[in-house]
Amino acid sequence: MMKGFDPVTYAVPFFVLAVILEILLARFRKADANYEVKDTATSLSMGLVSQAAGVITAGLVSASMLWVYQHRLFTVPAMAIWAWAALFLLEDLTYYVFHRLSHERRVWWAAHVNHHTSQHYNLSTALRQTWTGGVAGTWALWLPLAFLGFSPAMILIQKGVSLIYQYWVHTEAIRRFPKWFEAVFNTPSHHRVHHARNPVYLDRNYAGILIIWDRMFGTFQPELDEEPCRYGVVHQLATFNLLRVAFHEWIGIAQDIGRSPRHLLGWLFGPPGWTPDGSRDTSRTLKERAGVPVHGYARPGSFLAPQADASEA
């Protein structure tokens, strides 16, 4: 297994302290946050088991990364500032692609959906992590970075930095940052949108650290004061059973394939909600029915006025 400096390991105590702080601030009404006991237990337990689940595929991931790195195009110096700047941008773009695929293609949504199953949005939600990400194979999206010549250790560190950054945006305690910051970085406000199930917010704001990718690729949606976020998934879970939280979409895929095997590719790679006869809702049909933009975004104060192109902003 690949040994190296993993910043996430060192960040875990701060994750715990941050949750404690958020709960105490909410308890003494100094910040907006809600914690429900079973929901919190589910989120944290999902995170705990996900650590163990990651170990199962870690060997394969490490071996693949090392093999690709041995066949790299260039050798990027680990001590050069430009190398880390390039890696920062490329890794963040890779995360955007990973995250978009994880929402827009059902097989990868099956691995990612559990992160969105809480009806709460707080720091414990950030820890509701996947058990099946390794099996889903999305880690392969990071292999091109090794092929370019970034060492596996550098990639691991940058992935860790990204994960740590994304932790603190899972909060309602922070409303908005100054405009320049909201324009460039993923923030609690942007990520609240990402976790909301309101039609206008579905499949938006995939950013890891930089929100610029969403702005560039037309998936940006600002949080609208007139449309408060309702968190969770389109079909909310009616259970806190960890196995159901972790595997319900995988089981749903298996059931659909069993019912209609000839539509295998559609069940796997169609958008979540896809059916051969269109009998279920997808993000697109929900948006169309609600009269909100399928492409582009709704501007603050003009909720129902579709904008043609996000790049106009």
Partner 1 sequence: MDDAFFVQMALSAAAVGLLVALAAWAKIAKPIGPLDEHKARALLAQEFPTRTVEAVWIASDGCGALAKSNGLALVICRVGDGFALRQIPWPQAVAATFKNGKLSIDLRDVAAPTAVIALPSWPPENLKGDLAA
Contact set with partner 1 (CB under 8 A): 9, 12, 16, 19-20, 23-24, 26-27, 33-41, 44-45, 47-48, 51-52, 55, 119-120, 124, 232, 235-240, 244, 247-249, 251-252, 255, 289-290
CA nearest neighbour of 245 among 96, 137, 127: 127
> Smaller CB distance to partner 1: residue 56 or 183?
56
* SS3 assignment, position 221: coil
Identify the CA nearest to 214 among candidates 303, 68, 93. Answer: 93
Asked if 110 and 253 count as a contact pair (C-beta separation under 8 A), the reply is yes
Q: Which of 260, 234, 263, 261 is nearest to 248 (CA)?
A: 234
In the complex, least distance from residue 240 CB atom to partner 1, rounded to whole angstroms: 7
CB of 71 to partner 1, least distance (A): 29
Q: Provide, rounded to whole angstroms, the least separation between the CB of residue 265 and partner 1.
A: 22
Give the position of tokens 């940058």.
158
Q: How far is the CB of 114 from partner 1 (least distance, A)?
A: 10
State whether residue 270 is helix, strand or coil: coil
Backbone angles phi, psi at 262, to 5 degrees: -70, -10
Q: Which is nearer to partner 1, 103 or 215 (by Cβ)?
A: 103
Please name the residue that has the structure tokens 């790049």. Answer: 311
* Smallest distance, partner 1 to C-beta of residue 182, A: 26
Residues 120, 263: Cα–Cα separation, whole Å: 35
Nearer to partner 1, 133 or 208 (CB): 133
Residue reference for tokens 């970034």: 150
Separation CA 18–CA 25 (nearest Å): 10
Query: Would you say 59 or 300 has its CB closer to partner 1?
Result: 59
User: What are the structure tokens assigned to 156, written together?
Assistant: 């691991």
Least distance to partner 1, CB of residue 121, Å? 11
Least gap, CB of 188 to partner 1 (angstroms)? 18
| In the complex, least distance from residue 210 CB atom to partner 1, rounded to whole angstroms | 30
User: Distance between CA 161 and CA 239 in Å, rounded?
Assistant: 33
User: CB 250: neighbour CB atoms within 10 A?
Assistant: 17
Q: How far is CA 16 from CA 44, 124, 183, in A?
A: 10, 9, 29
Which segments of 105-208 does DSSP mark as H helices, in order?
106-112, 123-126, 133-136, 143-148, 152-168, 179-184, 188-195
